[in-house]
Amino acid sequence: MRSDSSGSARLLPVALSVHSATIDTAHAPPFHALSYIWGTETTTEEMELGGKRFAVTPHLRTGLRALGRRFADALFWIDAICINQTDDAEKATQVGRMSDIYLLAACVVIWLGPARDNSDLFMTQVTRLNDAFASIPDVKMLERDALPDHGLPPIEDEVWLAIRRFDGLPWAQRLWVLQEAVLAEEAVVVCGDHAVDLEDMLTVCGYLTRIWSHLLEEPPSSASVVDAFVILWGLRKSRQRDGCDSLADVLFMSTGRRCREAVDKVYGFLGLVSAEVRAKIAVDYTLQSRDNFWKLYIQVSSMLLQTRDYLLLDMAVSEHRHAALPTWCPDFRDDPSVRTYHFSDFEAGLPQYPGDFDGLPVPPVSFVHPDGLQVCGVVMDRVKTVVELSVSTAQQLRLCETRCLELSSEVYVSREAAPLEHIATLVAGTDTEWSLYEAPRVVEDYGHWKVWMLQKTATDDRARGSTADPEGRAAAREYNSCLEAAWQGNAFFSTENGRVGIGPGALRQGDSVHVLFHARAPYLLRFDESRQAHSLVGPAYVHGLMGGEAFRAADPIQTHERFLLR
């Protein structure tokens, strides 16, 4: 379907002989919309369309052949063909209308690609797997040798290998597919000759992500199909609940997804956000706009931060950044190098009661042209000692934890062997659902984890061969998963005022610990004398500051300071 300024559209019957029909979008007949990966292929194959020849990628050509057999004579909207890719103005118009197109579609067809690596086996087993998983009270408790007892294939069955290979399909790498699938009222997932309803695929992937690390015993692929479907599930649920998604949330969830233009890291999600937000972002594909994509990043980040959406500060910590970007602005092309704390239940800078911060004489966050961000808060502490963290091997992980424990024991003298503050900080205070890890459970799980780690790193065969009960092993795995997530790109540290915390690996002794008004987590800042401004180091978990009591006790309305970030 092609739309122009008059509202007309072009729909494509999917068959080897393809032609177009221009229609009024207000009276569009039922049509399907295709969601697929463009890939890095050059457009070397041509197909005839309405008497004209169009260049398409081999991947799309393969998809059209496969879908032609399943959806004979169906009308399709396909972006690579229905949008004139050489017309920047048309691309801008169409991207702004993407939500209309996918919402109008009778069905969105998610084409994962041709069958490979036994993907057919997994596609045919989705219903069976969902039925079996649904009968299990807690899938996290599943043990490898007990799978057949629950109606699941034994771990040696080739379906598990097929699932691992399916997880690496390239479809999940494309950024645009998230928006396309979220907007779909009805959708079907097609891989090779097999199709699965999107809701069934979302369900099975939700189960798989909860058992992946301990049953399949290898990390998911870097651009995981299973993770992509789990993200889709979350975005679809929030859209059903709220009617639209937070732009900051979808920008965060876009990490690891690819697109051809850097501006598409923002434009690729405009269909998911409110009309009010879309109206503030002009879609522009001119060469100047594409070359200066970083200006769009600053515009969007400053706009969201002024609504106190601090997730943008969490995302700003990354290895590869455009030189023109200030430290507080994310480079959306790169993945955040640390775990963010935005979705947890922390309340470091939140008011206890509505109106508590009404007396603040200045906005909590304001933009200072051309690249400054003025934030308000209180300096609560400073970094004193730093311990580097590594999860590269079990031995290395255990050694790092020992060093962290030594530091915690220095801070919390005359306390138990492993202080609660230490145990909670190792996992940044949160469980695998990013909710608060309750104190009794985190202490118990830590105890199981210590035994489990001793077994994993033991050189004595008798120690290695000893086993804990299934619940103990599940608790150890839970704690280990939380620990590895919390340690990603981070370091453990103590503070001058007797606290421990975990924050970005780039932190240094002397970095200041700030709690900002309305922020859920503290932030580490570093003052730059030459620029008379602060650089953002990143978000941190600091035990004793996360609940907000310490910030409120500091009388922030009276004691706050303004900090300029660049």
Per residue in 390-407, pLDDT (tens digit) is 998 999 999 999 999 999
CA distances (Å), origin 56, targets 71, 81, 448: 20, 8, 55
CA distance linking residue 62 with residue 64, whole number of Å:
6
CA distance linking residue 500 with residue 495, whole number of Å:
6
Residue 563 burial (CB < 10 Å; 0-12/13-18/19+)? Answer: buried
With bands split at pLDDT 50, 70 and 90, how would you rate the model's confidence at 293? very high
Higher confidence at residue 496 or residue 339? Answer: 496
Single-letter code of the amino acid located at 39: G
Least confidently predicted of 46-55, 428-437, 497-506, 517-526: 46-55
| Mean pLDDT, rounded, for 351-377 | 93
Q: What is the pLDDT of residue 80?
A: 84
Residue 420 burial (CB < 10 Å; 0-12/13-18/19+)? Answer: middle
Percentage of the chain lying above the pLDDT 90 cut: 57
Structural domain spans, the chain:
8-105, 390-488
| Mean pLDDT, rounded, for 308-314 | 90
Contact 388, 505 (CB under 8 A): yes
Contact 201, 187 (CB under 8 A): no
Contact 249, 157 (CB under 8 A): no
Q: What is the pLDDT of residue 161?
A: 93
Contact 511, 549 (CB under 8 A): no
**DSSP helix/strand/coil, 58:** helix
**DSSP helix/strand/coil, 416:** coil
Q: Check residue 118 and report its DSSP letter.
A: T
Q: What is the pLDDT of residue 343?
A: 56
Q: Which two tokens stand for residue 318?
A: 């990354």
CA distance linking residue 329 with residue 40, whole number of Å:
28
**DSSP helix/strand/coil, 473:** helix
Least confidently predicted of 15-29, 119-133, 285-299, 364-378: 15-29
Q: What is the residue-averaged pLDDT of the chain?
A: 88
Q: Which of 32, 46, 19, 16 is nearest to 79 (CA)?
A: 32
Query: pLDDT tens digits, residue range 431-468?
Result: 877 789 999 999 999 999 999 999 988 865 555 555 56
Dmax over CA atoms of the chain, in Å, equals 84
CA distance linking residue 388 with residue 403, whole number of Å:
9
Q: Which two tokens stand for residue 365?
A: 């966050």
For residue 17, pLDDT over 50 is answered with no
Q: What is the pLDDT of residue 43?
A: 60
CA distance linking residue 468 with residue 451, whole number of Å:
8
Query: pLDDT tens digits, residue range 146-163?
Result: 999 999 999 999 999 999
CA distance linking residue 73 with residue 25, whole number of Å:
19
Question: CA 93, 99, 102, 106 torsion: positive or negative?
Answer: negative
For residue 340, pLDDT over 70 is answered with no
Contact 493, 513 (CB under 8 A): no
With bands split at pLDDT 50, 70 and 90, how would you rate the model's confidence at 5? very low
For residue 227, pLDDT over 90 is answered with no
For residue 552, pLDDT over 60 is answered with yes
With bands split at pLDDT 50, 70 and 90, how would you rate the model's confidence at 59? confident
Query: pLDDT tens digits, residue range 71-116?
Result: 877 888 888 888 888 899 988 988 888 888 898 899 999 999 999 9
Whether pTM exceeds 0.85: yes
Q: What is the pLDDT of residue 325?
A: 97
CA distance linking residue 277 with residue 251, whole number of Å:
13
For residue 333, pLDDT over 50 is answered with yes
β-pair type (365-368, 372-388): antiparallel
For residue 320, pLDDT over 80 is answered with yes
β-pair type (75-77, 52-56): unpaired
Q: What is the pLDDT of residue 541?
A: 95
In terms of DSSP H, where are the helices of 152-267? Answer: 158-166, 176-183, 198-211, 225-242, 247-253, 264-267
DSSP string, 263-299: THHHHTTGGGS-HHHHHTS----SHHHHHTHHHHHHH
Question: CA 74, 182, 98, 285 torsion: positive or negative?
Answer: negative
| Mean pLDDT, rounded, for 164-179 | 89
**DSSP helix/strand/coil, 558:** helix
| Mean pLDDT, rounded, for 205-234 | 82
- Sequence-distant (≥ 6) Cβ neighbours of residue 559 within 8 angstroms: 378
Q: Which two tokens stand for residue 534?
A: 């602060």
Enclosing H/E stretch for 408: helix 394-411
